[in-house]
Structures are given as structure tokens and as C-alpha cells.
Amino acid sequence: MRQLSVASLMTGEVITASPETPFKDLALLMEEHGISAVPVVEGDYAVGVVSEADLLAKEEFRGGSTARPPLLSSRAEKRRWRRAHGGTARELMTTPVRTIRMDASANTAARELAKAGARRLFVVDVEGALVGVLSRRDLLKVFVKDDETLRAEIQDEVFGSSTWLNPATVNIGVHDGVVTLRGLLERRSDVDLAVYFVRALPGVVDLENNLEYEWDDTLRPRRTEMFG
């Protein structure tokens, strides 16, 4: 079954900054390119990332007020106060950078984003060099294909290329990404496999399974039937 890779969905052109990029230039990069974070690179490698939240600390603490947060303030507030005094990317950036390999699967990337509560992952090659960025929006691209395209992919990739599923006995309907399967297959295990592979296909929103089978090959024979 075809799996979408991070490389097939990522944005390959990444706007970057150096560790010495000034605060104002970082703000201009985000404004001009409509992005919410800039990776900080040395050579080909990302060493940190500056986000809008990192820059907003300057406003939160009124341009770098010298009044320290109260002793019992949270660690996050103290970190924001320190960043309010930063003037370059090196002083503002967050480390380490959240990265993912370009050959990782799209569902692995989605899982990583969900676990971290992050908006993006920076994509690296096998050597760890920065090659792209993958956002939540990039991952949602798999769901914008039209229904007929998705139906054709299911027909070809699940049923058409199979030696154990008979496409002539299955009707495939797709509406707003929701797939409906109707028809008759020989074995119950065939139905289970068809459902599994259709659900795994990129772009499937949900599945309504109305497939039937001629015999249940998942039932184990009783001992008396096995030995007579």
C-alpha cells in the first residue's frame, strides 16, 4: 500500500536566519513571507528556531524592561523575560529544533505534531541537514483531492492490483471523502483486508463498510471436526 512521505508534502523552500540576524530583520522576514517561525541555521544545519511568540516577549515586557519577574513566576515567564532582552536570533531562538526525516511517513509526522502540540516540523535529510518544513496545513493536503480521484485510487490501488480481491463484485462510492463499499467477496478475511487498505489510503475521511462475504474463514474448526 502506497504511503505518502514527508518529502512529498513538505515545503522545500525554507526562509532561514543566521544566529546573528537582528530582531527587526526576523520580524520583517515573518511579515514579508507570511510565516510564523524562522529556523536559525549554521551551515546546512538548523540550530534553533525563532517564532512569533519569541518576538512577542519584547512587547510583553515593554521593550526589555529591567524589572525581573517575581521570584515565584513560572519558568516560562522567566524564559520570556530573558528573550525580551534578546537582540539577535541566537539570543531569541528556542532549542532544540523539532525535526523529522524526509523519508518518514505522513502519518508519523501527524503523530509527532499532535504529541508535541506543534505547528510545524523542520525536515532533515539522512545527514541531518535542513531540506524543508512541514506544517499542519501541508498534511491536510491529502484531504483536498476530489471524490472521483479518490474513488479511482481505491479502485486501482486496493482492488485493481490485488490477486485476492475481485473488483467486479464491489461497488465503490465516495462523497466528501467518505467511502462506501458495497458488494460480495469470497471470504471474511478479504473483507477485513479491503477495509484495512481503504482506510489506510491517503485522503479517506471515513469508511462505511457494507461488504458481505460468502464464508467466514476466520472461525477455527472445533476439535471434533478436526479429528473426526
Let me know if residue 165 belongs to a domain: yes
* Mean pLDDT to the nearest integer, 45-52: 94
Q: How far is it between the farthest Cα atoms of the chain?
A: 89
**What pLDDT band is residue 66 in, cutting at 50, 70 and 90?**
low
What's the whole-number average pLDDT of the chain? Answer: 87
Q: What is the pLDDT of residues 14-43, one digit of tens each?
A: 999 999 999 999 999 999 999 999 999 999
Q: Count of domains in the chain?
A: 2
- Picking from 158-172, 180-194, 200-214, which range would have the lowest pLDDT averaged per residue? 158-172
Among 90, 121, 142, the domain-final residue is 142
Let me know if residue 222 belongs to a domain: no
Among 118, 142, 166, the domain-final residue is 142
Q: What is the CATH number of the domain that holds 64?
A: 3.10.580.10
Q: Is the pLDDT of residue 64 over 60?
A: no
By residue range, what is the domain housing residue 202? Answer: 147-215
Q: What is the CATH number of the domain that holds 191?
A: 3.30.1340.30
Tally the residues of the chain. Answer: 228
Same domain, 94 and 177: no
Q: Which residue has the cell 460468502?
A: 214
* Mean pLDDT to the nearest integer, 110-125: 93
pLDDT above 90 coverage of the chain, percent:
63
Q: Which residue has the cell 458495497?
A: 182
Non-local CB neighbours of 33 within 8 Å, separated by 6+ positions: 15
Same domain, 98 and 158: no
Q: Which residues of 134-161 are buried (b: 16+ CB within 10 A; e: fewer)?
A: bbeebbeebeeeeeeebeebbeebbbee
Cα–Cα distance measured from residue 81 to residue 71, given in angstroms and rounded to the nearest whole number = 12
- Nearest C-alpha neighbor of 183 from the set 168, 195, 204, 164: 168
Same domain, 134 and 27: yes
Same domain, 180 and 135: no
Q: Is the pTM of this model over 0.85?
A: no
Classify residue 221 as left (phi > 0), alpha (psi -120 to 50) or beta: beta
Look at residue 58 in the predicted model and tell me its pLDDT. 76
Let me know if residue 72 belongs to a domain: yes
Q: What is the pLDDT of residues 155-174, one digit of tens each?
A: 988 888 666 677 778 999 99
3-state class of 71 per DSSP?
coil
Same domain, 169 and 201: yes
Q: Which residue has the cell 546546512?
A: 44
Among 142, 161, 195, the domain-final residue is 142
